[in-house]
Amino acid sequence: MKEQEVQYQAGDVTSKGYLVYDEAVQGKRPGVLVVHEWWGHNQFTRDCARKAAQAGFVGFALDLYGNGKQADNPQVAGQMSGEIGKNFPVMRTRFNAAREFLSKQSNVDPARIAAIGYCFGGMVVLQMARAGEDLRGVVSFHGLLGTAQGAQPGKVKAKVLVLNGADDPFVPKDQVEAFEKEMRAAGADYKVINYPGGKHAFTNPAATERGKKFNLPLEYNADIDKRSWSEAVAFLNRVLK
């Protein structure tokens, strides 16, 4: 695997990304953007980009906060994610700067780009789909599903896969139901999978310890992590073929 730290410009902010791909593969291939949790672009995000590369894509872990900023506690994480989450133009600008960077890589087919996101990042990729961004598909892992900017009929271009913990207190059942109603009304091509026993951040091996440290309902689940990744790869292979 070829792995490299890169810098790219997102408006007036310099962001730090992480590009990963299999050097043995010849020619252009699809690209997958990886959007980080509210903690920021960290090792977990890079590991997810590496998994995307191992699945045959060019993985690119982007940086929505700029300058590689990370949070080490929920207060700072909430502040940084809130600044982006409540300012859609900034979110969109920074997301599209990363997409443009990935699209320009010599081994990437710019017509075949998808995005996956975790927690905060899951919310971000769903917002990009709602906004009609030209992506082949988006995958949300344990992302928040509510929005103040619902999808409009006929606007969602990306196919949508939501991988949700059925026991995630941050995503109650009524939020899931409202999301599905929104997607149906918009005519979106979507699928929601609810994993029984799944709590928030079920894909992150550090979640359980972090949850105990900060008294948050976070819990890693190795089985759901594996199953949800298999679902995501099958989805990406289908939409990016």
Give me the CATH number covering residue 210. 3.40.50.1820
Task: Give pLDDT, residue 204.
Answer: 98
Whether the model clears a pTM of 0.75, i.e. scores above it, the answer is: yes
Domain residues for the domain of 19 are: 2-239
Residues of the chain with pLDDT under 50: none
91-104, pLDDT tens digit by residue?
A: 999 999 999 999 99
- Structure confidence at residue 88 (pLDDT): 95
- Residue 115: predicted pLDDT: 98
The DSSP line for the chain is -EEEEEEEEETTEEEEEEEEE-TTS-S-EEEEEEE--TTBS-HHHHHHHHHHHHTTSEEEE--SSSTT-B-SSHHHHHHHHHHHHT-HHHHHHHHHHHHHHHHTSTTEEEEEEEEEEETHHHHHHHHHHHTT---SEEEEES-----SSPPPTTT--SEEEEEEETT-TTS-HHHHHHHHHHHHHHT--EEEEEETT--BTTT-TTHHHHHHHHT--B---HHHHHHHHHHHHHHHHHHT-
Question: Which pLDDT score is estimated for 199?
Answer: 97
Would you state the pLDDT for residue 232? 98
Determine the pLDDT at residue 4: 96
The pLDDT value given to residue 11:
87
| Per-residue confidence (pLDDT) for residue 148, from 0 to 100 | 86
Number of domains comprising the chain: 1
